[in-house]
């Protein structure tokens, strides 16, 4: 089956959105915790988060075309702080419900059954039920003119996680954490690891090892 650019453009809006969101496969899924200047907390569910660099430690996230009531974006602009919190099998349905359009004065923490966790001097709430949590400080916002989206860049200033999830080499084991991923906007998956491979080098040793194993 081949789908052309013209066919994509002519698709029904929701069908096209589901197709383009799901065709790249499963993606990182995070509950983004924020609070406004009056202390009203918010959770937004995002699947557009990506790594930018480790020194400084930067993560990016994409915001679709914004409306004036976009609480997550507005709260980050007001306070400069926000959190990423992983989703677990025990509460993925509650996490999904946070994507509903609630009024700004309503906290998804309360209505969806999550517990706020704060650190001294940090204005955004973490989700206590998550076992891998990241606190970020806003650094830069980039406008993407081609589709009226924004890329928000934040620096990692706090990491909270269960100790057994952190390996001696710095690897965070999301399979052991049971972190949930998402394909499209509504299809959730648990992680099943295949193997951790050594750093790939140009001498081809890894390929040679794999070839010998097939013989």
Q: Is the pTM of this model over 0.85?
A: yes
**Which among 135, 136, 50, 129 is positioned nearest to 94, based on CA atoms?**
129
Instruction: Render pLDDT for 170-204 as a digit per residue (tens, 0 to 9).
Output: 989 999 999 999 988 788 999 888 888 887 877 76
DSSP letter (8 states) at residue 196 = P
> Which stretch of DSSP H or E encloses residue 62?
strand 57-63
Query: Where is mean pLDDT largest: 5-19, 95-109, 191-205?
Result: 95-109
Q: Which among 61, 39, 32 is positioned nearest to 126, based on CA atoms?
A: 32
pLDDT at residue 215 greater than cutoff 50: no
Q: How many domains are there within the chain?
A: 1
**CATH number of the domain enclosing 164:** 2.30.110.10
User: In whole angstroms, how far apart are CA 78 and each of 75, 163, 195, 196, 212?
Assistant: 5, 32, 42, 41, 57
Higher pLDDT pick, 168 / 126: 126
Distance CA 131, CA 90 (A): 12
| Helix H or strand E segment including 82 | strand 81-86
Q: What is the spatial distance between Cα 137 and Cα 153, in angstroms, rounded to a whole number?
A: 9
Distance of alpha carbon 14 from alpha carbon 111, whole angstroms: 27
* Dihedral of the alpha carbons of 130, 134, 137, 142, in degrees to the nearest 10: -90
Quickly state the pLDDT bin for 211 (edges 50, 70, 90): very low
DSSP state of 88: -
Structural domain boundaries enclosing 107: 5-214
Q: What is the pLDDT of residue 140?
A: 97
DSSP characters for 17-61? Answer: HHHHHHTT--B--EEEEEE-TT--EEEEEES-EEEEEETTEEEEE
Predicted confidence (pLDDT) per residue in 20-53, tens digit: 777 777 788 999 999 999 999 999 999 999 999 9
């Amino acid at each position: 089956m081949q789908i052309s650019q013209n066919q994509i453009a002519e698709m029904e809006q929701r069908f096209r959105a589901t197709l383009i969101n799901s065709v790249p496969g499963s993606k990182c899924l995070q509950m983004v915790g924020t609070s406004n200047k009056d202390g009203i907390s918010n959770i937004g569910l995002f699947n557009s988060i990506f790594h930018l660099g480790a020194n400084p430690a930067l993560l990016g996230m994409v915001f679709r075309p914004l409306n004036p009531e976009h609480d997550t974006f507005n709260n980050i602009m007001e306070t400069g702080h926000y959190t990423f919190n992983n989703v677990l099998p025990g509460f993925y349905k509650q996490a999904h419900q946070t994507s509903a359009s609630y009024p700004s004065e309503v906290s998804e923490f309360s209505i969806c059954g999550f517990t706020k966790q704060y650190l001294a001097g940090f204005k955004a709430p973490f989700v206590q039920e998550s076992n891998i949590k990241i606190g970020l400080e806003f650094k830069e916002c980039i406008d993407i003119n081609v589709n009226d989206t924004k890329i928000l860049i934040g620096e990692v200033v706090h990491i909270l996680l269960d100790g057994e999830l952190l390996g001696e080499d710095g690897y965070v084991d999301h399979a052991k954490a049971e972190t949930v991923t998402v394909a499209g906007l509504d299809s959730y998956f648990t992680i099943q690891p295949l193997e951790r491979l050594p750093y790939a080098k140009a001498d081809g040793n890894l390929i040679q090892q794999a070839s010998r194993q097939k013989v």
